[in-house]
Structure 1
């Protein structure tokens, strides 16, 4: 099990496609920094194939004024939740 970190918006970069292709069936994806734009409609639709395994960092949502617009399908975690995800997974892969 791996934790994939995506820090780029799906609106401005296609690196999310590489991340999705690299993900295993039990891997998680955490949207951080500008990646959290992918947690709002309609951009969240790009992640429909990983429902239940898509996370967004609360602090980054808040700093961009997106917390209230975050899709219900996205699991929002704070920094402590981020740390917990890293502890639950064998390794972390960053997509920048």
Structure 2
């Protein structure tokens, strides 16, 4: 399993589309920095087919005033949860 890290909002770039094409069936996607905008109800549609494999970093959500506004399909993790995901992954891939 690979952990993909996305730091761009899905609506602002073509990178999220590239991430989805590169992901395997067991891979996970972690939204960080401005990527957490993809966790919002209106944006999560740009990241289809990731039920149970889509995560967003709580600290980045809070710093952008987005806490409590995420789609129910997104798992919110704190920094410890982020570290745990990286430990579970064979490797991480950063998308910028």
- Using the size of structure 2 for normalisation, the TM-score is 0.97
Q: How many residues align?
A: 96
Contact 2:55 2:77 (8 Å CA) reproduced: yes
Greater helix share, structure number: 1
Alignment of 1:1-96 (within 5 A): 1-96=1-96
Structure 2 contact 11–46 (Cα < 8 Å) conserved = no
Between the aligned partners of 2:11 and 2:30, the Cα distance in structure 1 is 17
Compute the TM-score of the two structures, normalised by the length of structure 1: 0.97
- Give unpaired runs (5+ residues) of structure 1: none
Tell me, which stretches of 5 or more residues in structure 2 are unaligned?
none
